[in-house]
Structure 1
Amino acid sequence: MTGEHRAALVVVARDGGVRLATTRELERRYGADYLVVPAADPGRVAGLLAAGGDPPVAVLLGGLGDADPDGLAVLRRLHGAHPGALAVAVVRWGAWETAQPIFEAITVGQLDRWVYAPQGRSDEEFHRSVTEALDEWASQQGGGFEAVRVVGDRWDPHAQHLRDQLTRNRIPLGFYEAGSADGRALLADLGIPQPRLPVVVVRFRPQQAVLQAPTDLELAESFGLFDPLDPGAVHDVAVVGAGPAGLGASVYAASEGLDTLQLEREAVGGQAGTSSLIRNYLGFPTGVSGSRLAFAAYQQAWAFGTRFSFMRTVQALSTEDGLHRLALSDGSSVRARAVVVATGAVWRRIGVPELEEFTGRGVFHGAAVSEAPAMRGRHVFVVGGGNSAGQAAVYLSRHADRVSLLVRRDSLVQSMSDYLVRELVALPNVDVRYRVQVVGGSGADVLETVRLRDLDTGAETEEAGMLFVMIGSQPRTDWVDGVLARDRWGFLLTGPALLADGVDPPWPLDRPPALLETSTPGVFAAGDVREGSVKRVASAVGEGALAVTLVHAHLAAQEAAVADEGRPGGRAGAPASAGREERLG
């Protein structure tokens, strides 16, 4: 059996019924691929693993209940010896007394999830939980099927950008260092003796595509994602951006029968798509990664009929005769009767000139998920005090030797969820430093040292490490400058805010603007791009759904205007008529 198993599933429980039922189900369903190691005594686990060839441990399943009152402590000790494994508590159904200690352990990062012990043969609820745990473990390990292979230099910003884009879009990826034996062999097999790096091999298409230093547009074309847009079509609604707000709008619009087009310049998910684990999103008691949540929403919108266009940037918005025209970066344009702007925001730059040259080479804005494996053995600094920074610090702590969260304020209470603060404090290799600012850094090919300043004393120190920057957001609204009203930071003004003095451009109609309507009637804003929005995934999804309700009202008003024009004495030149006739024609 030695060497045949990819990894081990360890079951530790003194409760014989729980141990035997769990072991039996694991062996029946997973025994061909995983070594199942049952033990009543945790002290025997190391010997049993050694006898099985010492495979890595994927999941530690520990009993918790009357026979195993110290089950969580046992799991913690075993997890210390196998930090790459997921720690899962196994409880009997109805053992409600275990709920509070389990929730507390998950909150402080000492437990990944829990399952009910199998209730009988082929307990599919149990197997769903185990499969989700194995999927999470496998995604952290890499390897397996590689739909796309990238050969490049680890610290090349272009290679880092490609890794980030592909990872966020949940495309199975294999990355090969160009100077490694595997990388050189792959380039030789491709017949590229002097490649322009990075080289991308798209393996899942009928004709394998090999791209050298590709642009995002070239990559999208090779994937078959660059479908031609009909310049004569008039869509009911165009959604700009595929973060939580945009995806929420698309799901509800398409499911309610609206002709929906979604335009996304990068990857689905927006900033939320870079979150390693979102723990407070409704319906996911053990958390969900941002990329998984976003990809599921993308598939849902697609299934309802939303048409997606990737890697095209919307560059301008104009309105004529009741129709909105979006000019795209490839020279084409699309028209729609209503628009939902959900372009979200980008991470703010840290504002230290000497660090800019290290972007992608030790300085990363977001990208914690895609770059975490390269942080093994390193000290990592995460700059920021919000949930995204906290989630990144937690995720990076699974790979880096040490993680330091740098916060300008003297507390995280106002900016970070309580559960996340508690988890950070409990992690042994994470420290939170308050009233600290990054003021510099240095290195040869990559960032090697970071210079920090104590904001109270002014003292500066230098420490070795790499930097992940998550210090707030800057809205993606430059493309509507002068077209839609914005606040001084660039966020879009909507609803009652448009009626204040000095808004430019002003609200043009006698009726008041709808709650999420911008200064152009029929153009709505949702999510982080909107002034006054709540920076949470759930609220962004809710705003996207609400925007569709307002779109329906806008389209109904257009229909009424068309009907009114057809009556004797109706208004001439009602703008909605042209749009409706073109859409039906």
Structure 2
Amino acid sequence: MKKPIILCVDDDPQVLASVANDLRREFRRDYRILSVNSGLAALTTLDELRARAEPLALVLADQRMPEVEGVEVLAHARQLFPDAKRALLTAYADTTAAIKAINSAQLDYYFLKPWDPPEQLLYPALHDLLTSWQVTYRPQFEGLRLIGFQWSPRSHELKDFLSGYLVSYQWLDFEKDKEAHTLLTTTGFQPDDLPVLLYADGQAVAQPDKHDIARQLGLPVAAQQELYDVVVIGAGPAGLAAAVYGASEGLKTLLIERQSFGGQAGSSSRIENYLGFPTGVSGAELTYRAWTQATRLGAELIAPQEVIALRVQDGYKVLTLKDNAQVRAKAVVLTTGVSYRTLDAPGLDRLSGSGVYYGSARTEAHICKDQPVYIIGGGNSAGQSAMYLSTYASRVFIVIRGESLAASMSAYLIEQIAQTPNIEVLPTTEVREACGGQSLEAVVIQREGQAPEKHPARALFVFIGAKPSTGWICDLALCDAKGYLLTGRDLVADPRYAAHWKLPREPYLLETCVPGLFAAGDGRAGAMARVASAVGEGSMAIKFVHEYLSE
């Protein structure tokens, strides 16, 4: 298997030799180090690497170079290798240019010259960038192979599942890849049996179940103990934060997730307003860090596994899982989050998973290459998805009912969208129909006061608000009219709910009407739909768990 490449570019021979030597000393075991002495040569090298399908992990380019500056090199690298990390080498006087490059070239980091000693000023940041790149890097022939039809909803579901758990796999489109036909013949299956998953040991399974895949890959799907101090249900930012703090403070902690870690935030292509990440962080990277942190501190994580019922017995919380197994806990934190609402328009249900996707389907971004795509919604998730897809698609259209994005999207995203030439916002507009045979081919849109128009579309991504994932628990814990869990003062301040709280003390801030049952994150009434607030609530919930367990 080819080693991934680190490309360094500088027109100063001494600086180029120095950075190349530093890179080889630290990274030559796992990466190939290439160095070129001009921006023009770097552009040629990038084109050659693309033509040979070489894996590029990182480009490190000097800013001040004749003919072609570093930012231009990084912008070209972004076009050819969207997932590669990009860093700029600058002198102190160039910091303003570097900051501007964060937007123009989607810069991941910049280094100030000199960086002596590299052990302190170069290697830590580069290790961080390369670790983040490895999260989404898929070696060409390593791990699992998935054979299926591109426009099969079942194939899309399996791709999302494997990507969500950071499992390396190779996708083979049966209609385009000759190798897929050869491999399928060796398994004894027929095209009607697709999708087929081939494991590294040669085992092949047709239309595999996600739970069986998890067991085969060694993912934990069953609890290891009978009683826990706290069980966290849902592994979005709030749930992962609760697991980290619960385990770090000595609580016997179990985290259960029914789909994949990260929740909606986990599928975000770039989160730029989260503290501590000045150039942004992808949802996958943030999830990976939190997942690793929770397990290192001793939290037990099981997935994919679903809690279908919860009851209280002698003060203990008894959770029934989808496979009928039961888990007992002293306290429970509900961080089940929300799911995107479906859009009621002709064709959308039929083409769901075949060009119509709810949320940011990063696994399908490659099908949008040089094709027009549409996004419905004006929130941050829609904006982040638009910026990510703009790297692949010829045009990205954001369809919103309102006059502008200002009411629902953060200012930094609005500014980035305005500066991206292939993104267009369509205000006071609605999608009326999705058209196509086996896959999406066109959408019918209508602007207020105008006749409907049909336009070509390769994909449609829907972000039209959210509904709480609390239907299974609302018969036990009080929810508001929209299904969001009521907690804290909301339970006692309103006479309609006060009778449900029986203890002499007031409920804790994040406590539901069931003592010892807490709620945090987007599924809680009054929560702020931001990653930072979800992490804060998940962490806070553990404080109240401690107080409850001390009673």
Q: TM-score, normalised by structure 2?
A: 0.90
2:193 to 196, 220, 237: 196
Q: Deviations 1:125-170 (Å, cap 9, x if unpaired)? A: 4244445555666766743463322111111111101111111221
Alpha-carbon separation, structure 1, partners of 2:113 and 2:199? 42
Alpha-carbon separation, structure 2, partners of 1:214 and 1:54? 35
CA contact (8 A) 2:50 2:80 kept: no
Deviation of residue 554 (structure 1)?
A: 0.5
Aligned AA for 2:170? G
Counterparts of 1:165-176 in structure 2, within 5 Å, are 165-176=161-172
1:91 aligned residue: 90
2:534 aligned residue: 540
Alpha-carbon separation, structure 2, partners of 1:124 and 1:372? 37
Counterparts of 1:104-253 in structure 2, within 5 Å, are 104-107=100-103, 110-117=106-113, 119-120=115-116, 123=119, 125-133=121-129, 142-144=138-140, 146-179=142-175, 180-193=177-190, 196-203=193-200, 209-229=203-223, 233-253=226-246
CA contact (8 A) 2:221 2:305 kept: no
Counterparts of 1:387-466 in structure 2, within 5 Å, are 387-455=380-448, 457-465=449-457, 466=459
Deviation of residue 340 (structure 1)?
A: 0.2
62 and 221 in structure 1: CA distance in 2 versus 1, 3 angstrom threshold = closer
Tell me which moved more, 493-502 or 178-187: 178-187
Alpha-carbon separation, structure 2, partners of 1:16 and 1:166? 44
Aligned AA for 2:550? A
CA contact (8 A) 1:37 1:49 kept: no
129 and 186 in structure 1: CA distance in 2 versus 1, 3 angstrom threshold = farther
Aligned AA for 1:181? K
Alpha-carbon separation, structure 1, partners of 2:415 and 2:502? 49
State the SS of the aligned residue for 2:155: helix
Aligned AA for 2:427? Y
CA contact (8 A) 1:107 1:419 kept: no
State the SS of the aligned residue for 1:272: helix
Deviation of residue 51 (structure 1)?
A: 8.8
Alpha-carbon separation, structure 2, partners of 1:46 and 1:307? 47
CA contact (8 A) 1:108 1:424 kept: no
Q: Deviations 1:551-580 (Å, cap 9, x if unpaired)? A: 0110101xxxxxxxxxxxxxxxxxxxxxxx
Q: Deviations 1:59-85 (Å, cap 9, x if unpaired)? A: 4433236x8899466447755875646
Whether 2:491 is the aligned partner of 1:498: answer yes
CA contact (8 A) 2:143 2:199 kept: yes
Deviation of residue 309 (structure 1)?
A: 2.0
Alpha-carbon separation, structure 1, partners of 2:274 and 2:429? 30
Alpha-carbon separation, structure 1, partners of 2:346 and 2:248? 47
27 and 53 in structure 1: CA distance in 2 versus 1, 3 angstrom threshold = farther
Deviation of residue 519 (structure 1)?
A: 1.1
Whether 2:293 is the aligned partner of 1:304: answer no
Aligned AA for 1:116? L
Alpha-carbon separation, structure 2, partners of 1:275 and 1:194? 33
State the SS of the aligned residue for 1:312: coil
Counterparts of 1:259-298 in structure 2, within 5 Å, are 259-298=252-291
Alpha-carbon separation, structure 2, partners of 1:80 and 1:526? 37
Deviation of residue 330 (structure 1)?
A: 1.1
Alpha-carbon separation, structure 2, partners of 1:307 and 1:170? 18
CA contact (8 A) 1:358 1:446 kept: yes
Whether 2:524 is the aligned partner of 1:527: answer no
CA contact (8 A) 2:220 2:301 kept: no
1:340 aligned residue: 333
Q: Which has more radius of gyration?
A: 1
Alpha-carbon separation, structure 2, partners of 1:200 and 1:347? 28
Deviation of residue 108 (structure 1)?
A: 5.1
1:39 to 37, 47, 62: 37
Alpha-carbon separation, structure 2, partners of 1:50 and 1:414? 42
Alpha-carbon separation, structure 2, partners of 1:468 and 1:35? 38
Q: Quote the RMSD (CA, aligned, Å).
A: 3.0
Counterparts of 1:56-67 in structure 2, within 5 Å, are 59-64=58-63
Deviation of residue 191 (structure 1)?
A: 3.8
Aligned AA for 1:345? V
Tell me which moved more, 25-34 or 544-553: 25-34
2:355 aligned residue: 362
Alpha-carbon separation, structure 2, partners of 1:118 and 1:279? 28
Q: Deviations 1:80-129 (Å, cap 9, x if unpaired)? A: 8756465432124xx1x433332233145553432234635754642444
CA contact (8 A) 1:150 1:201 kept: yes
2:9 aligned residue: 11
CA contact (8 A) 1:58 1:134 kept: yes
Alpha-carbon separation, structure 2, partners of 1:300 and 1:8? 27
| Sequence identity (%) | 34
Tell me which moved more, 55-64 or 212-221: 55-64
Alpha-carbon separation, structure 2, partners of 1:428 and 1:234? 56
CA contact (8 A) 2:346 2:434 kept: no
State the SS of the aligned residue for 1:337: strand
Q: TM-score, normalised by structure 1?
A: 0.85
Aligned AA for 1:199? V
Alpha-carbon separation, structure 2, partners of 1:327 and 1:475? 20
CA contact (8 A) 1:75 1:87 kept: no
2:306 aligned residue: 313
State the SS of the aligned residue for 1:268: coil
